[in-house]
Chains A and B, each alone.
Chain A
Amino acid sequence: MVASPQPIVLLDKVRKAYRMGEFTVEALRGLDLHIAPGEYLSIMGPSGCGKSTLLNVLGCLDRPTSGRYLLGGDDVSTIPDDDLSSIRGKRLGFVFQSYNLIPPLTVLENIEVPLFYQNTPEEEARSIATELAGRVGLAHRLNHRPFELSGGQQQRVAIARALANNPLVLLADEATGNLDSASGREILSLFDDLHSQGKTLIMVTHDLGVGERAARLIRLRDGELESDTRR
């Protein structure tokens, strides 16, 4: 796939530094990254290489210390916190290693959470959530609580939730890390489906088998880009 001239994600000399007492630790050291719409990208690297920091910055959970981050054409590196929240809600979908479903809520209600914060009317949110639950194969578990589901099922709820607001980019942080290999394969094939449907997917992993499923593989080392390979 040829990179589009208008990337959906554009990192321009992004730096992220943390103050640890008297020391300043640079987690990202001037990273440049272009991701085109519809790309399937995985980020790999040893621990401490800045993977999580990069994902937090990409996910608008954290702001870069310097540099620019354009998401969908808008510079989100300097916007106020409330705007950042709505960017997260509208343009990004998160899939976490530990699922991060809200325990007291049912499957449907968990999927509705991002819709709630975008003021989607109730009935509409319900029908969207129902359809998404069906798409991830959980149509028969709509009113179950997370603890009543297997890990793989919980992760599928999380994916449905991430898709609720039809985001520009789906971010997965070790999405298969807590799963057995069979469930992991299910999740990965769900990602493949999403990719084939045109979703932009960014996946952080340390499992080479998982990383290599992506069309593009980025390796980080010490906060810098080590390699960027495409299949």
Chain B
Amino acid sequence: MRSRRREEAVPFRSCRREEAVPFRSCRRQEAVHALGNPALGHFPLMPLPSFSSRFRRTVQLGIRSLWLHRLRSLLTVLGIVFGVCSVIAMLAIGEGASWEAQQQIKNLGSQNILLKSVKPAEEEKVSNRQQNNFALEYGLKQDDIRRIRDTIPGIELVVPARVIRDYVWNITRRVDAEIVGTLPNHPATRNQNVAQGRFFNDLEMDAASPVCVLGHDVALKLFPAEEPLGRDVRVGLNYYRVIGVMEPRARSAASEASVDGPAANAALGRIFIPLETARRRFGEILSRRRGGTYEAEKVALHEITVRVSRPETVIAISEVVKDILARHHTRKDYEVVVPLELLRRAERTKQIFNLVLGSIAAISLLVGGIGIMNIMLANVTERTREIGIRRALGARRKDIITQFLVESVLLSGAGGLIGVALGIAIPFAVSALAHMKVIVTPWSPIAAFTLSALVGILFGIYPARRAAALDPVEALRHE
């Protein structure tokens, strides 16, 4: 079949040749053919350059030549592998951590300003010395709420809360929790909804009804199998009817303690009761016995949540709030937390983190690229003779450039691929082992791979050009 095609091709070919080489006699051509050398009488039937097939073969050639020096190639790409892998992995872990922090801050509400009572550090010592027989009075007061609400425009809500730490009982089940006495509109300030039942209303507030709404975790612990609605829970000597269960909060982690909850214990669940109920049942003075010492505190309000109507005014209003509080408190017995500010700070931290990671990535890719360049230069020197042979057999300069460039891009691209694979695998291993949130952003592997391929081009171009610039005569003489 094949030889038949070839014989058909030959007469066609001799005519073509005739055009190209006018003085070559046709008779000679026929003589060649007559002597039975079909191969010598060959002329390409399809002179169209098939670029893709040619490129594919160049790539195959490159893979073979790299495979020939497997160890060397592997060692060469390690720089790129580690660079790419570490950057993707760190980015994923950092992204996860910052997502978590942002989520927590968002739970506090970006339109909110949180005011908290803080026990002044120096007073603590004094109270200890004075036989503990009087209650330490500090913190935010009802007056603060009035001042803030009356003097600052643009405030939507001011929600106070008393937070008392105590055990919450269901018959024999016990949970250490924070009992939060607050207003009926508390859920609105925390982007937190009631999952089951309802929150208490103004009527129950005014009547100081013994009702409560359980936090999701508390409800799970106290009523693992039963329906909590309509049941009673006991705190101290008082019973409260469960009228609702909150939605679960976004994952809480240790960092939440610093911005939410004066008890500084993030693991604590919360139950909500009307503020009025809390005032009547627990009184003004909270006492605590701990290891033989007795502590009494008089704190009117533990938290005040100020919700502004327009998010862009949060920072400005928070400054005014700080001013007002500073004027009316002689001691620093409160703190002001602005979640939006925290969010901004978290974002800035993340930007810096990304910048640092970016420079690490750039440096490692640079180092990896230099490694590739080094090996490619050695490669060119080693294969000088091959370059000479190829040039003598018809390779143009750009063919040589392509050949060596393909090799260096293959090296860096393979390095990038391995790096991306490891860089994705490592964060998932970390999250499985350390229970950390990791987020692999889709652009990071793509960017890492593209960059490493670019590094191959950038650092491959010089060796490739050097190979192409070799004088064929010199190259052929090279041992």
Chain A interface residues toward B at CB < 8 A = 4, 6, 8, 37-38, 56, 59, 61-62, 72-73, 81-82, 85-86, 88-90, 94, 96, 100-104, 113-114, 116-122, 124, 127-128, 131-132, 135, 161, 163, 165-166, 168, 196-198
Contact = CB atoms under 8 A, between A and B. Distances in A.
Given A62-B473, A197-B32, A118 B41 contact: no
Given A37-B25, A113-B393, A127-B6, 9 more contacts: A86-B396, A88-B394, A89-B394, A102-B386, A117-B395, A117-B399, A120-B44, A128-B39, A198-B35
Contact of A94 (B20, B29, B54, B393): B393
A168 B24 contact: yes
Contacts of A89: 393-395
A214 B274 CA distance: 117
Contacts of A127: 2, 6
Nearest to B383: A102
Interface string B109-149: 00000000000000000000000000000000000000000
B44 A124 contact: yes
Interface in B373-404: 385-386, 388-399
Most chain A beta-carbon contacts within 10 A, residue among B28, B394, B399: B394
B42 interface: yes
B57 A38 contact: no
B50 interface: yes
B53 interface: yes
B397 A73 contact: no
Contacts of A128: 39, 42
Contacts of A165: 394
Contact of A198 (B22, B28, B50, B395): B28
22 contacts: A8-B23, A8-B24, A62-B473, A72-B20, A73-B22, A73-B23, A81-B397, A89-B395, A100-B385, A100-B388, A100-B389, A102-B390, A113-B390, A113-B393, A114-B394, A117-B390, A118-B394, A119-B44, A119-B54, A120-B44, A197-B31, A198-B32
Contact of B24 (A37, A114, A122): A37
Contacts of B32: 197-198
A121 B50 contact: yes
B39 A117 contact: no
> Which of the listed residues A38, A89, A90, A161 has the most CB atoms from chain B within 10 Å of its own CB?
A89
B40 A166 contact: yes
B470 to A, nearest CB: 12
B65 interface: yes
A18 to B, nearest CB: 11
A118 B23 contact: no
B38 interface: yes
Q: Top 4 closest A-B pairs, CB basis?
A: A89-B394, A6-B23, A131-B39, A119-B49
Interface in B12-28: 20-25, 28
Interface in B41-81: 41-50, 53-54, 57, 64-65, 68
A90 to B, nearest CB: 7
Contacts of B42: 128, 166
B275 to A, nearest CB: 84
Contacts of B397: 81-82, 85
Contact of B35 (A8, A120, A196): A196
B53 A86 contact: no
Interface residues of B, number: 50
A197 B23 contact: no
Given A104-B65, A124-B44, A124-B45, A117 B23 contact: no
Nearest to B37: A197
Contacts of A120: 44
A74 B302 CA distance: 99
Contacts of B385: 100
B16 to A, nearest CB: 11
B43 A85 contact: no
Contact of A88 (B54, B64, B393): B393
A86 B394 contact: yes
Nearest to B51: A119
B476 interface: yes
Contacts of B391: 61, 85, 88
Given A96-B476, A166-B41, A102 B54 contact: no
Nearest to A120: B44
A137 to B, nearest CB: 13
A61 B472 contact: yes
Contacts of B388: 100
- Of B391, B392, B472, most buried by chain A (CB within 10 Å of CB) is B392
Interface in B136-191: none
Most buried by A among B68, B389, B397: B389
B478 to A, nearest CB: 11
A219 B44 CA distance: 38
Contacts of A161: 393
A119 B394 CA distance: 11
Given A81-B397, A163-B40, A94 B392 contact: yes
A100 B473 CA distance: 13
Contacts of A104: 64-65, 68
A4 B24 CA distance: 10
A221 B22 CA distance: 34
Nearest to A165: B394
B23, B54, B399 pick with most chain A CB within 10 angstroms: B23
Nearest to B29: A198
A102 B49 CA distance: 24
Contacts of A38: 28
B325 to A, nearest CB: 80
B4 to A, nearest CB: 12
Contacts of A8: 23-24
A165 B41 CA distance: 9
Contacts of A82: 396-398
B389 A102 contact: yes
Q: Which of B2, B20, B48, B472 has the most CB of A within 10 A?
A: B472
A85 B396 contact: yes
Contacts of A90: 394
Contacts of B392: 59, 61, 88, 94, 100
Interface in B450-479: 472-473, 476
